[in-house]
Amino acid sequence: MIFDTHIHLNSEVYKDNLNELLLKAKDKGVNLFNCVGYDLESSIEAVNIANNFPNVYATIGLIPTEHKKWNDNTINELKELYFKNKKIIAIGEIGLDYYREKDPIIKEKQKEIFIKQIELANELNLPISIHARDSLNDVLEILKTVKCKNTGVLHCFSGSKEQAREFIKLGYKIAFGGVLTFKNSVKTKEVLLDIDLENIVFETDAPYLAPTPYRGKINLPEYIFNVVQEASLLKKVDFKELSKITYENSLKIFHVKSYED
C-alpha cells in the first residue's frame, strides 16, 4: 500500500477523469491520497474532492508564492473550512519560497504568513505540509522558534543531508517525489541514502514533477509507483517492505487510519 502524501487532485487537468485516474493508481497499490491546497479556492476544492472519495484527505493553506491573497480574514476562512469538514488532516502547503523572490519586505511577509499558519495548525491540533524553495535555513529557524506540536512533512525536499538531519531532529518527515528518479538529482539521492526508513514518506506533487520516464509530462497519481521503485533500488530495501514502512510513517504523521475497501 502506498500513501501519496502530497498531490493536487484539485488541479484543472484531472477534472474530467479523476475517478478513472484514482482507480488506475489503486491498481498500482496507491490507496491513500492527501490532496493539498495552495490558496483558499484550491483548499475548498481539495476538501470537496476529499468529501467525494473515501480514500482522499485534504490539506488546506496558503502557499508563500500566493502571499498577495493573504488578508486579515484568511485565518478565519481556513478555520471555518476546517470546522465544517471532517477530512482535513493538515495545514499546507505553507512555508517560504525565495526562488523568484529577492524583495526583503515580501520575504518578511512570507515569514509572517507561515508563522500564522503554524499557529493555526497548533490551534487545530494538525501537522503541517511544508513548501520550501531556496529558503530551508529560514524555514528551519522558524520551526525551531515557532514549534509545530504535531510536526509534519518537508514536501519536495531539496536540501542537503545535513539539513535533512536537522528537520528530522525536530520530528519532521522527509518527502520524496519524482525528482528522486532524475539522473542529475545527486543531492536528493544522497539524502535518501543517509536517512532512516522511519523518516521517509512519498508523494507525487502531481500534476507537477513527473518521475522518469514521464519527466516533463503531466504527472499522474499512479506514477508514485516509479518513485517508490527507485527508492527501493537505491536504498536496497525490498519494494513491499519499503511501501509498508513508509505507509505507516504517513499514517502516523497525518493521524489517519489505513484505508481498505
Single out the segment in contact with Zn ion by CB under 5 A; choices: 74-82, 194-202, 204-212, 248-256. 204-212
Residues 6+ apart with CB under 8 A from 196: none
User: 205 or 222, CB closer to Zn ion?
Assistant: 205
Q: Name the minimum Å distance from CB 203 to Zn ion.
A: 8
User: 36 or 169, CB closer to Zn ion?
Assistant: 36
Q: What share of the chain is helix, strand, coil (3-state, %, to 5)?
A: 50, 15, 35
Peptide bond into 93 cis (omega under 30): yes
Cα of first residue to Cα of last residue in the chain, in angstroms, is 12
Q: Name the minimum Å distance from CB 53 to Zn ion.
A: 18
Residues 6+ apart with CB under 8 A from 243: 1, 2, 29, 228
The torsion defined by the Cα of 202, 207, 208 and 210, in degrees rounded to 10, comes to 70
Single out the segment in contact with Zn ion by CB under 5 A; choices: 64-72, 95-103, 122-130, 200-208. 200-208
User: 21 or 237, CB closer to Zn ion?
Assistant: 21
Single out the segment in contact with Zn ion by CB under 5 A; choices: 95-103, 136-144, 198-206, 221-229. 198-206
8-state DSSP, 213: T
Single out the segment in contact with Zn ion by CB under 5 A; choices: 170-178, 199-207, 229-237, 240-248. 199-207
Residues 6+ apart with CB under 8 A from 53: 18, 22, 33
Query: Which residue has the closest beta carbon to Zn ion?
Result: 205
Q: Name the minimum Å distance from CB 217 to Zn ion.
A: 17
User: 65 or 241, CB closer to Zn ion?
Assistant: 65
User: 208 or 239, CB closer to Zn ion?
Assistant: 208
How far apart, in whole angstroms, are the C-alpha atoms of residue 16 and residue 251? 29
Number of residues that bind Zn ion (CB under 5 A): 1
User: 97 or 205, CB closer to Zn ion?
Assistant: 205
Q: Name the minimum Å distance from CB 101 to Zn ion.
A: 17
Q: Are 22 and 53 in contact (CB under 8 A)?
A: yes
Q: Name the minimum Å distance from CB 36 to Zn ion.
A: 5
Contacting residues toward Zn ion, per CB under 5 A: 205
